[in-house]
Structure formats: C-alpha cells, structure tokens
C-alpha cells in the first residue's frame, strides 16, 4: 500500500484499536503490523503526539513477566476524534469506490 | 543493528531534547525490545522492523521544536522548528523552506514599506521646519511646502499611517507564525520520512 496512505490512516487505526481495549505499545504495533506492513518505530512518535494532544492517558501496569508496561487508554476527546476520523474514512472510501467501481454503480 | 546500537544512536540523535523527555522516548523502545525478545525475536529483527533510529529521532525533534514554538512564541523557536522539519526529508526544501522564505520576504517587504512611510513623514517634517537638515532632497509640491500647516498635517498623517501599518505588520506576522506552525505539524504527520 502507498506510504502516504498508510500514514494518514495510522491515527485512525490506533484510535480504533484503543476504543476496544487499553493496550501497551508493543501490542498496538503487533495488532497493526499483523494486517499492514509499517515501519514499526513510527507508532511510538504517533502515540506520544496523540497523548500530548490529550487523546490518550497512559498508566503503568505490572506484568507477570518482565518490567511494568505502559498502557494507553482512550480519552473522551480521543474517542470523539476517532468518531470524526471514522466518518471521514467512510466518506472517503465511498467516494473512491464510486469512481473505482464506476461502471458497475453508474450504469 | 542490535538493541544497544539502536538505542545508542537514537539517544545520540535526540540531542537537544530535554533529558526527561528523552528518557521517556527511550523507555518506549526499551520496552518494545524486551517484549519482542520475550516473543522470541532477535534484537536485530526487532531493530530492523523499528526502522532507522536517525529518522525516528528527527521526527521526535521536529515535533519537540514545533511544540516548543507553540508554547513559547519567539522567532528563534520558530526558526528552530522550521529547521528541524527541513531535516525530515529532501522534499521539505521545496515544501517548507520555499513557502517559508516567501512569507518572510512578504513580511520584510511590508515592514520596509511601513518604515519608509514613517521616514517620509519625518522627512516632510524636517523639510517644513528650518531646524535640522537631515533630509535635503525632499521635494514637496509648492502649495504644500509654502504652507506650514499643510506640511505639518502631511507629516503627521504619513507618520501615523506608517505606525498603523507597522502595527498591522505585527498582526500579520503573528498570523504567519500560527499558520507556519500548523503547516509544520501537518507536514510532520504526512510528509515525514518512514
């Protein structure tokens, strides 16, 4: 997939995953790179920025194996941004689909 | 590249960012490595998947400087933010430096015009009064030059107009400041190197 494309949706992907449950960074990276190949390191700058913008709260939680993990929790503000981005996303793919599958739908 | 090399070069490239923030950033990657290892991956594999530490550091720095400029609106901070964003990729010479120089040139031109208007006012004033002879080549239409009141009003008018323009340039500059930061943020998110 096109690089610019991936970057644009990365934010939506992270927000959507965190809507379901709180995650730590490594989990988020895995969840995303399972489906889409990304340069894994870029998730962390994104998480940091979105945290600073108030979309997430972080907390440390002990784990059975190894050191405590930093978990991210979606805030209300984060969720409303997620909602907006999701609408934009559907709007966008609908428009693209109209053109890409044009001869099926128009005629 | 192994874990140590990755973390070291990230640490080194993050110079300029306050220690506390740096520690925070490195924490995330350390955590990532230890979890990857627990998953049975090798240090090299993990480092490779993370990408180039230099590119990551540049992105953190660009974000840090933009943030600093937002909190502390000084020209120096804005220049640092623009410079840090330039480092993100070759394209930014065109997409950041070009427009930025253009905007600076416009502000400079507006400043020059305003200052010139004020100076013209002063020149008219010195011409109308016999006292100082700083500006010798001011040629006013005869009906103004021969009329003290007319020159005085013309002088006051020009000086005030110039001052108003200077104030307006101040507002324009603040606006440019805000727009530039907004654009840099957008740029970091979209154009930033992988």
- Strand residues in chain B grouped as ranges (E): none
Position B151 scores a pLDDT of: 83
Q: What is the ipTM of this complex?
A: 0.80
* A45–B32 CB contact, under 8 Å: no
The residue of B9, B21, B30, B35 whose CB has the most chain A CBs within 10 angstroms, and thus the best one to mutate to test that interface, is B35
Same domain, B16 and B111: no
Residues A91-107 have a mean pLDDT of 76
Q: In the structure, what pLDDT confidence band is assigned to residue B194 with cuts at 50, 70 and 90?
A: very low
Q: In the structure, what pLDDT confidence band is assigned to residue B90 with cuts at 50, 70 and 90?
A: confident
Number of domains present in the structure of chain B? 2
What CATH number did the domain enclosing A25 receive?
A: 1.10.10.10
Same domain, B127 and B34: no
* B67–A52 CB contact, under 8 Å: yes
In the predicted structure, residue A107 carries a pLDDT above the cut 80? no
In the predicted structure, residue B193 carries a pLDDT above the cut 50? no
Tokens of B102: 């253009």
Residues B18-44 have a mean pLDDT of 91
Tokens of B168: 């307006």
* A41–B56 CB contact, under 8 Å: yes
Same domain, B116 and B159: yes
Residue predicted with more confidence, B125 or B176? B176
Find the domain containing A60 and state its range. 3-100
Dump pLDDT digits (tens) for B147-163: 788 888 988 999 999 99
Same domain, B32 and B82: no
- Give the C-alpha distances (Å, rounded to integers) separating B16 from B7, B11, B112, B158: 16, 10, 35, 47
Chain B neighbors of A44, CB-CB under 8 A: 25, 28-29, 32, 56
Position B191 scores a pLDDT of: 63
Position B143 scores a pLDDT of: 74
Dump pLDDT digits (tens) for A15-72: 999 999 999 999 999 999 888 888 888 889 989 989 988 999 999 888 777 778 889 9
Same domain, B17 and B77: no
Q: Tell me if A46 sits within 8 A of A29, measured CB to CB.
A: no
In the predicted structure, residue A94 carries a pLDDT above the cut 70? yes
Range in A4-8, B10-14, B68-72, B78-82 the model is least confident about = A4-8
Query: What does residue A60 show for φ and ψ, rounded to 5 degrees?
Result: -95, 140
Same domain, B44 and B135: no
In the predicted structure, residue B176 carries a pLDDT above the cut 90? yes
Q: What is the mean pLDDT of chain B?
A: 87
Using CB atoms, pick whichever of B32, B52, B56 lies closest to residue A45: B56
Chain B neighbors of A52, CB-CB under 8 A: 67
Residue B102 lies in a domain: yes
Q: In the structure, what pLDDT confidence band is assigned to residue B132 with cuts at 50, 70 and 90?
A: low
Chain B neighbors of A47, CB-CB under 8 A: 28
- What does the alpha-carbon distance between residue A12 and residue B189 come to, in Å, rounded to a whole number? 13
Find the domain containing B136 and state its range. 72-190
Same domain, B170 and B107: yes
């Amino acid at each position: 997939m096109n690089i610019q494309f991936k970057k644009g949706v990365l934010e939506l992907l992270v927000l959507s995953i965190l809507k379901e449950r709180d995650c730590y960074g490594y989990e988020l990276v895995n969840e995303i790179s399972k489906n889409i190949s990304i340069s894994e390191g870029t998730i962390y700058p994104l998480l940091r920025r979105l945290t600073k913008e108030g979309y997430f709260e972080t907390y440390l939680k002990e784990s059975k194996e190894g050191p405590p993990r930093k978990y991210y929790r979606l805030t209300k503000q984060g969720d409303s941004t997620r909602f907006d981005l999701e609408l934009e996303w559907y709007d966008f793919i609908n428009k693209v689909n109209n053109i890409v599958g044009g001869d099926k739908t128009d005629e | 590249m192994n874990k140590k090399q990755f973390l070291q070069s990230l640490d080194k490239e993050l110079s300029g960012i306050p220690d506390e923030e740096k520690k925070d950033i490195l924490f995330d990657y350390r955590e990532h490595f230890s979890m990857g290892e627990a998953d049975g991956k090798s240090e090299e594999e993990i480092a490779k998947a993370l990408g180039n530490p230099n590119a990551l550091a540049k992105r953190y720095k660009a974000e840090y400087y933009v943030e600093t400029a937002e909190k502390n609106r000084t020209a120096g901070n804005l220049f640092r933010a623009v410079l840090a964003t330039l480092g993100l990729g070759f394209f930014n010479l065109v997409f950041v430096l070009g427009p930025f120089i253009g905007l600076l040139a416009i502000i400079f031109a507006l400043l020059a015009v305003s200052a010139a208007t004020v100076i013209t006012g002063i020149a008219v004033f010195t011409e109308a009064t016999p006292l100082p002879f700083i500006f010798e080549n001011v040629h006013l239409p005869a009906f103004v030059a021969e009329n003290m009141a007319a020159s005085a009003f013309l002088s006051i008018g020009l000086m005030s107009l110039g001052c108003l323009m200077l104030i307006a340039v101040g507002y324009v500059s603040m606006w440019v400041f805000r727009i530039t930061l907004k654009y840099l943020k957008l740029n970091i998110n979209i154009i930033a190197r992988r």
